[in-house]
Amino acid sequence: MEKLLNKLLKAPWLTMIVVITISIAFFMVMKENSRMETDLDKYMPQDHPAFVYSDQAEEWFGINDGIIVAIENQKGIYNTATLDTLKQLTKKLQKMPQIEKADVTSLYTADNIIGTEDGMNVKAFYKRIPKSEEKLNELKHNVKNNEMTFGRLVSFDETVTIIIAEIKDDVFSQEFYHEILELAQSFETEDIKLHVAGRPIVEGTMALLGPADMKKMVPIVLLVITLVLFIMLRSVKSTLLTMAVVFFSVLWSFGLMAAVNIPIYAVSTMIPVMLIAIGVADGIHLYSHLQLFLRKNPDATKKEASIDMLQNMWKPVVMTSVTTAVGFVSLLTSQVYPIKYFGLFTAFGVLAAMLFSLTFIPAGIMIFGLPKVKKTGKNETNKDYDLAFNFAEKVLKRKSVSIFVTAAIIILSIVGMQKIWINSSFLDKFERDSDIVLTDKFINEHFGGTTTLNLILDSEGKKDVFKKPEVLKLVDKMQSQLENDLKVVGNSFTLTDYTRRMNKVMNADKEEFNTIPDSRDLVAQYLLLYEMSGDPENLNKVVDYDYAKLNVTFQLKSDNSKAINSAIAIIDSYKNDFKKHGITINYAGSGYKGLVFTDLILEGQIMSLVLSLIIVIILLSLMFKNFKIGLIGAVPIIITALISFGIMGFLNIPLSTTTALLSSIAIGIGIDYAVHFIEQYRINTSKIDNKLLVAQKTMAHSGRAISFNAIVVIAGFMVLLFSVFPPNRELGALVSLNMFTSFLGTLTIMLVLINRSNIFFKKKN
C-alpha cells in the first residue's frame, strides 16, 4: 500500500494536469450540447400503456395543449377596439408556422348554430367588425344565447374573451415562447390588457427560470460552503483544494450528461447544489484526520502526513462514497426520466469527488504544502477533547433516554406519513404571487379552467353507438354531475353539447328543448344537417367518423392531482352504466398523463427507498463482515427517512418530482456519518479494551469530522431556501433537517446500539 501511495505522491503536478485537462474537455462539451427539457411528455416512459393509449387518442381527436390568450377590457368586450384586437390577434396566430390555422379558436372563428325557416344554419358570429350600437348588441345577444360559446369563449361578466391556439409538443421552443409573449404585448392599450396562459406557457416559463435559478443558486452555495469550510478547517489552502474537488465533480457530471445527450430537467438544476454540499464531505474527513495527526506530529513532512492520511482514510472515504452513490443509483428504479437521470449523474459526481479527494487533495498538499495547524500543549489538547468525551459518556449513561425518544419519534412520524399526498402540478412549482400563477388564476376565475382531462369513451368499433339518445343522455348526465358537484370542474364539452344546441334552435330557441332528443333518427338528422350547413371537421374533435369513439373534454381550474383524481372518481362511478352499452372508459391528454406521472413518482419512490436500504445494509455487512453492523448502521437513516415523510405529512408538503428525491438523498448522504463512525470505532477497539473509552475516542475523532460535515452540508442545502421554486425550498429545508437527524442519530442511538452489541469486542476476544 505504501509503495502505491509513494508513486501517487511522486508526480503531483501530473495528477493536477490530467484532472484539469479532462475538466476543460467536459466543459467544452457541456457548453456545446447542454439543453433544457420541460415538456412533460418527455419526462415519461413512452412505452407505458397509459401514455401509448393517450398518444393514440390524441391522434384520433387532435388533442393538443393550448396556448390561451385572454383579452380583457373592464368596460366590456363588445366594442369596436376590443373586437378588432380579437380578430387581428386571431389572424396573426393563424399565420404563425408553428400553429395550424384550424387549431385557433376564438369568438371570431367560432360557429354559431341557429335555426332558420328552412331548417338549420351555421355561420360565424362576425366577420366584419360591428361598429354600430345595433350590430354590437346583436352580437352580444347571439353570444349570450349560445351555451357553446357563452362562458367558454366569452366570460359571464362579458369583460374577457379568449383565443385558444393548440400546438403540437414538438413545435414549442424558447424562440416561439418569446414570440407569443411579444405578440400579445404588442396589442395592449390603456383599456385592453392581454394575459397569456396554458401548459406550453407554464413549461416555457420553467425553461427560463430553471437555468436562471441554477445560475443564482450555485454561486451562493459556493460562497456559503467556502465560508463555512474555511471556518471549520481554518486554512485557505485546505478550503480551496476541497472546493476544487466539488467544482470538478460538478463539471464532470454535467459534461457527461451533455456528452450522452441527456437534457437538463428542472430537477437537474439541483445537481450542482447537491454535489457541492456532498463533495466537501471527503475533504472534511481527510483534513480533520490530517489536523489531528499534525497536532500529535508537528514535525512530520508533507509526504509523511499525506501517506498517513491516505492510509487511514482511504477505506472510509471509498466506503462512504460507494454507499452514497448507491443511494442515488437506486433512483434508476423510477420510470420518471428526470428522477432517474438525477440519480445516475449525481452518483457519478459523488464517485468523481471521491477520486479527486484521494488524488487531487494529496497532490495539492505536496505542491502547496501542509495546512498550518495551531500548536497546542498536552493540557490544551485534552481540553479540546473534553466536549466529545463528556457527550459520549452522557449518551451511554442515559441509554434509555435515546431509546425512548427514538421510539416516540418513530411512532409520531408513522402517523404523519399517513397524510402524505402526491402532486405533479407544474403551477405549484411557482410562487403563488408570480405572474404565471396569477394569470392562470385570472383565466380560471373567468372561464372553465386551463387544465384539461380528456375522457375517451370507446365502443370497440361498433358504429353509430354515439348517435343513440340513451347513450348521449348518459354522457350528458355525467357531464352535469361533474360540473355541479365539483367546483374544480369549470365545464365540459363533447357531442352532447352540439346535439342539445341543435335541438334547441330547431325548436324556436325554447329552453325546454335544450336537451338530448329522444329519437335516434332525429339525432342522426341533426348531425347530417350540421355536416351540410357547417364545418363537419369541428365534429372530429369530439367523435370519430363511425361514431364509435367519443372524446369528452373536461376543463379543470387546477392541475394538481387531488383535482384530477376527484373528477376521475365520479367518471369511474359510471363505468358499469357505460359497460351495459358495450362502452369502455379510457383517459388521455396532458392532465391524465400528469396523474399517471404522480403514480410513477410514488412507485419509484417506494422502490428506490426499499432497494437503497437493502443495498446499503448489504454493503455495510460486507464492509464490516457482520450483518448486525449492517442493520445498526442503517438505523439513523431509517429514522431520518421516517422523520422526513412524517414532517411532510404534518406540514402538507406533497411528494413531487423534487421532494421524491428526499429519501435517496437522506440515505445517500446520511450513511456517510454511520460508515465513518463505525470504521473509527472498529479501529479503536483493536487498540483499547475499555468500551467507554473506545466510544469517547471515536467521538473525538469521527464525531468531530461528522459535526463539521453536517454543518457544511446543512449550510449548503439551506441555500435552496432562496430558490424561485417552492418545491426546491421545501427540499432544502427537509434535507437540512435530514442531515441534522442523521448526524444526531449516529452520535446517539447508533452509538448506544453498537456499544450494547459488543460486536467488535466479541471479535477481539
**CA atoms of 551 and 57, how far apart (whole Å):** 9
pLDDT at residue 763 greater than cutoff 70: no
Mean pLDDT on 115-139: 88
**pLDDT value at position 375?**
57
- How many structural domains compose the chain? 2
The pLDDT tens digits of the residues spanning 693-711 come to: 988 888 988 888 888 888 8
**pLDDT at 529 exceeding the cut of 70:** yes
Asked if pLDDT for residue 377 goes beyond 70, the answer is no
Nearest 10 degrees: Cα torsion 371, 376, 382, 384: -50
Rg of the Cα atoms in the chain: 33
User: Which residues is 160 bridged to in the sheet?
Assistant: 72
Q: H helices of 330-377, where?
A: 337-368
In whole angstroms, give the CA distance from residue 488 to residue 448: 9
Q: Which one of 86-95, 171-180, 602-611, 658-667 scores highest in mean pLDDT?
A: 86-95
> What cell does 680 get?
473509527
Mean pLDDT of 8-32: 86
Distance CA 346, CA 327 (A): 10
Statement: residue 382 has pLDDT above 60: no
For the stretch 421-451, pLDDT in tens is 877 677 777 888 888 888 989 999 999 888 8
Domain that holds residue 154: 63-203
Select the more confidently predicted residue: 272 or 22.
22
pLDDT on residue 379: 47
Q: Give the per-residue SS3 of 699-719.
A: HHHHHHHHHHHHHHHHHHHHH
Q: Is residue 602 part of a domain?
A: no
Give pLDDT, residue 380: 45
pLDDT of residue 199: 82
DSSP secondary structure letters along 31-69: HHH--B---GGGGS-TTSHHHHHHHHHHHHHT---EEEE
- Name the residue among 278, 250, 277, 276 with its Cα closest to residue 264: 250
pLDDT tens sequence across 54-107: 889 988 998 888 899 999 999 999 999 999 999 999 999 999 988 888 889 999
Q: How high is the pLDDT of residue 161?
A: 96
Distance from the Cα of residue 415 to its chain's centroid: 25
Residue 124, Ramachandran bin (φ over 0: left; ψ between -120 and 50: alpha; else beta): beta
Residue 509, sorted as left (phi over 0), alpha (psi -120 to 50) or beta, turns out to be: left
Per-residue pLDDT at 537 exceeds 90:
no
pLDDT band, residue 6 (cuts 50/70/90): low
- How far, rounded to the nearest angstrom, does the alpha carbon of residue 209 sit from its chain's CA centroid? 14
Q: Which of 132-146, 196-210, 643-657 has the highest mean pLDDT?
A: 132-146
Q: Domain holding 139: CATH number? A: 3.30.70
Domain-embedded: residue 339: no
| Calpha distance 291→227 (Å, rounded) | 19
Q: How confident is the model at residue 353 (pLDDT cuts 50, 70, 90)?
A: very high
Within-domain flag for 539: yes
Confidence of residue 384 (pLDDT cuts 50, 70, 90): low
pLDDT recorded at residue 468 = 94
Query: What average pLDDT does the segment 322-333 reach?
Result: 84
Alpha-carbon span 9 to 359, nearest angstrom: 8
Question: Which residue, 203, 234, 263, sits at the end of a domain?
Answer: 203
Show the cell assigned to 22. 479532462
In a domain, 171, yes or no: yes
Residue 608 falls inside a structural domain: no
Mean per-residue pLDDT for 272-293? 83
Chain mean pLDDT for the chain: 86
Report how far residue 420's alpha carbon sits from residue 646's, in angstroms, rounded to the nearest whole number: 8
Buried b (16+ CB within 10 A) or exposed e, 396-414: beebeebeeebeebeeebe
Identify whether 506 is part of a domain.
Answer: yes
For residue 394, being part of any structural domain is answered with no
Which band of pLDDT confidence, cut at 50, 70 and 90, is reported for residue 480? very high
Residue 241 domain-assigned (yes or no):
no
Given 203, 225, 254, the domain boundary residue is 203
pLDDT per residue as tens digits for the range 714-757: 888 888 888 877 877 888 888 888 889 989 999 999 999 998 88
Reported as a pLDDT band with limits 50, 70 and 90, residue 38 is low
Q: Which of 203, 228, 245 is at the close of a domain?
A: 203
Q: What is the enclosing helix (H) or strand (E) of 731?
A: helix 726-745
In this prediction, residue 78 carries a pLDDT of 94
State whether residue 422 is helix, strand or coil: strand
DSSP three-state, residue 242: helix
Q: What is the DSSP letter of 750?
A: I
What is the reported pLDDT for 542? Answer: 93
Higher-confidence position of 175 and 39: 175
Q: 202: pLDDT confidence band, cut at 50, 70 and 90?
A: confident
**How much is the pLDDT for 77?**
94
Helix, strand, coil tally for the chain in percent (to 5): 70, 10, 20
Q: Which helix (H) or strand (E) holds 114?
A: strand 111-116
DSSP 649-673: HHTTPPB-TTGGGHHHHHHHHHHHH
Crossing angle of helices 704-718/271-296, nearest 10°?
A: 150
Specify the pLDDT at position 734.
86
Alpha helices in 465-588 (DSSP H): 469-485, 495-505, 520-533, 561-572, 575-579
Contact 622, 97 (CB under 8 A): no
pLDDT mean over 583-600: 85
